[in-house]
Amino acid sequence: MKEHLLTIFLAFTTGITLFIFSFISSRSTLPVFDFDDLLFEHQTIHGNIVITSNPYGEFTLSFLNRDIGGLRHAGSAYEERFDSDISFLNLPANADIPFTIHAVVSSNPDLHEVIIMESGSQIAHGTHAKKTTCEHCSPTAVFMVASSDLTGEDVLILGLNQQGEILVEIEIP
């Protein structure tokens, strides 16, 4: 009789343990990236910032949270194309994303630096081209700024050449 009770008790506790483990370790679906689609990835202490492209030349900015169980998709933003060689991506901070992220993707070889300013802020965030992971996208450059000081509203983007002359000026309300 004791053996049957012990077996039932062990089966019951094993079932509860498996249920709790599966509930705790459940993750939201991660977006699936083809290796050729990955244009840029930056690791932070909070997670990974990823920029991907699709076969149609469109870009996506995503943030993947890092926690004890691995990476979890926190949010994505899609490009706003301003002309044939400049795209802007903006992913605002929220409960799952610890900072606002601005990214400019450009195929203009003369673009050397991008300055991003927001109205109401006295800080101008400047960035140079980041190295991309895409070998066949060699003329494509990524310029990215991420900060908890940014809000994602009333953005002014200035693109400068090597001599500091303004090549691009984009205002986003």
* Mean pLDDT for back-to-back runs of 10 residues, the chain (173 residues): 82 80 53 65 88 82 81 83 80 90 88 88 84 68 86 86 89 82
Residue 57's Cβ-count burial label (10 Å; 0-12, 13-18, 19+) is middle
Model confidence, pTM:
0.74
Q: How far is CA 162 from CA 5, 87, 110, 171, in A?
A: 79, 20, 7, 22
What's the pLDDT score for residue 22? 62
CA nearest 51: which of 68, 70, 69, 64? 64
CA nearest 96: which of 66, 65, 127, 119? 65
In the three-class reduction of DSSP (H, G, I as helix; E, B as strand; rest coil), residue 28 is classed as: coil
What's the pLDDT score for residue 134? 65
What's the pLDDT score for residue 140? 81
- Nearest 5°: the CA angle 125, 152, 133 is 65
What's the pLDDT score for residue 28? 47
- For 4, the token pair is 């049957």
Contacts of residue 150, defined as CB under 8 A and 6 or more positions apart, other chains included, come to 93, 99, 100, 102, 116, 118, 121, 125
Q: Can you give the residue ranges of every domain in the chain?
A: 2-172
